[in-house]
Chain A
Amino acid sequence: MNQALHEPIEVLTKFQHGQIVPLRIRWNDRVYNVEKITGNWFHRDGDFKEYFFAALVTGNRLVEIHLDTRDMRWTLDRIDEE
């Protein structure tokens, strides 16, 4: 059901009430709208933080993505198979 990927992605984000909120994800030349954030957590590693999100996106697919503050890059960790 889940496909582990760890691929770089582009994420359109807003910052609201001191929090990061992902809005859209571009992966494989397709854009997915974030319909609902279902979970979020973070992990500290040295001076850096990784912000993780689980979300339902276009097509009712579940994704897990994270932002690594080491290089400020977003990664798609896993996605539901279509």
Chain B
Amino acid sequence: MRTIFHVDMDAFFASVEVLCNPKLRGKPVIVSGSPETRSVVSSTTYETRKFGIRSGMSAVEARMRCPQAIFVEGNPKKYLYYSMRIQEILFRFSPQMEPFSIDEAFLEVAPCWHQAGRVESLAFQIKQTIKEELFLTASVGAAANKMMAKIGSKMNKPDGVTVIRPEQTQKVLWSLPVEKIWGVGEKTSKALNDLGVVTVQDLAQIPVEWLIRVFGKNGEALRWLAQGIDPTPVKYFDEEEPPKSLGHDITLEKDSGDEQVLLQTLCYLADKVASRLRREQYKAGQLTLKIKYSNFRLRTSQMPLLNYSNYDTDFFGIAQTLWKKMLPLERGVRMLGLSASKLLPIEIANAQQTFFDAEEKKVVGLCQAIDRIRHRFGQTAIARGRCIE
């Protein structure tokens, strides 16, 4: 029986801000984007929770709910650094450490359920080491698989430890609402609720054939998860999984219908996505453009690329075509996003290409020169003229 820990930092961004500014301790702190932009809440201290403030809520609404809250502009460089420090600490406990996001990670150690108190003691040690070295608190869940460990870490927040022993799995899991199961999002949860399936126990009692008929191949996975069975492995820290897609979003400073501003932003996004693909040694076969309007309505459009590519010129061309397909705009645009998918490692993508013409050789040369400059002088050292205001 595997022994897996899920370490979830408590209110991570907000806690780092309080750490760096002790005067914020005990106060309602909200980390959001720049105050000049219409940003959303990325993290809050527990003092704001009673006002119903949650991550993802617009900063304007958060301010209305809690006028006394202190807004701090988020600082990704700071959070990334502390996240790396946390990963360093976790790595000392096991090389089988899989960062799950900037503020959470899974850890698998040698099976030790048979040693009385060993799992509890390890969970407390992990939490204590983070607290002693970084003065930040984490909640730790321990269980026999990843899903149950993650459920555990949420059960006793903040600064808590929850151990779900293998024999307790069913009892803990079955009382929970179905949306607590991995892969059950808003849509699936609604579909299940409409069928009278509210708790995990309800789900576990449905015949698997029926689930497959309604949810396809996910139906079978749902059934296993409802039984508390999750064989997903915890990856080793240096084990890389190829990305499925790569993208960037930008929320504009103010809603805009100005074509020049929007195309400039698209150009910037095309450059950013292409540059990242080249750095990660991938080429993309498909691009998706996302537009979020001022009323938060999201529209997407996607298009395959003729040849696998990681050049911003190709991406900007496709992005413009996708853009034209979405015209006329319904209203002011709040956010633009561009993502590349159907990724292939460069060598494989190049092998599929029949020939490189002279024009493409020029583009490759230019991109390589841009990459060399950025590698040496930083990401903002060079940009296309058309991306600059």
**Residue ranges of A at the interface with B (Cβ–Cβ < 8 Å):** 1-2, 4, 38-39, 41-43, 45-48, 50, 52, 54, 56, 60, 62, 64, 70, 80
Contact = CB atoms under 8 A, between A and B. Distances in A.
Nearest to A53: B20
B21 A54 contact: yes
Query: Which of A2, A4, A42 has the largest number of chain B CB atoms within 10 A?
Result: A2
Contacts, number: 49
Top 8 closest pairs, chain A to chain B, by CB? A39-B20, A41-B81, A45-B378, A54-B20, A46-B378, A43-B77, A46-B377, A62-B21
Nearest to B76: A43
Nearest to B379: A45
A42 B78 CA distance: 8
A39 B380 CA distance: 26
A43 B79 CA distance: 11
Contact of A56 (B22, B82, B375): B22
Contact of A42 (B23, B81, B380): B81
B54 to A, nearest CB: 22
Nearest to A62: B21
28 contacts: A2-B72, A2-B73, A4-B73, A38-B19, A38-B22, A39-B19, A39-B20, A41-B78, A41-B81, A42-B81, A43-B80, A43-B81, A45-B378, A45-B380, A46-B374, A46-B375, A46-B376, A48-B378, A50-B77, A52-B77, A52-B78, A54-B20, A56-B22, A60-B23, A62-B21, A64-B20, A70-B377, A70-B378
A38 B20 contact: yes
B16 interface: yes
Contacts of B80: 43
Given A1-B70, A41-B82, A46 B21 contact: no
Interface of B: 16, 19-23, 70, 72-73, 77-78, 80-82, 374-381
Contacts of B374: 46
Contacts of B82: 41
Contacts of B19: 38-39
Contacts of B378: 45-46, 48, 70
Given A1-B70, A2-B73, A46 B20 contact: no
A62 B379 contact: no
A70 to B, nearest CB: 8
A39 B16 contact: yes
Given A4-B73, A39-B16, A41-B82, A62 B375 contact: no
Nearest to B29: A1
A46 B381 contact: yes
Nearest to A47: B376
Given A2-B72, A45-B379, A48-B377, A39 B78 contact: yes
Contacts of A80: 23
A62 B23 contact: yes
B139 to A, nearest CB: 22
B16 to A, nearest CB: 7
Query: Which of A4, A39, A54, A56 has the largest number of chain B CB atoms within 10 A?
Result: A39
Contacts of A43: 77, 80-81
Contacts of A46: 374-379, 381
A39 B24 CA distance: 14
A56 B24 CA distance: 12
A38 to B, nearest CB: 5
B244 to A, nearest CB: 27
B377 A41 contact: no
Contact of A38 (B21, B73, B77): B21
Contacts of A60: 23
B102 to A, nearest CB: 13
B19 to A, nearest CB: 6
Nearest to B35: A4
A80 to B, nearest CB: 7
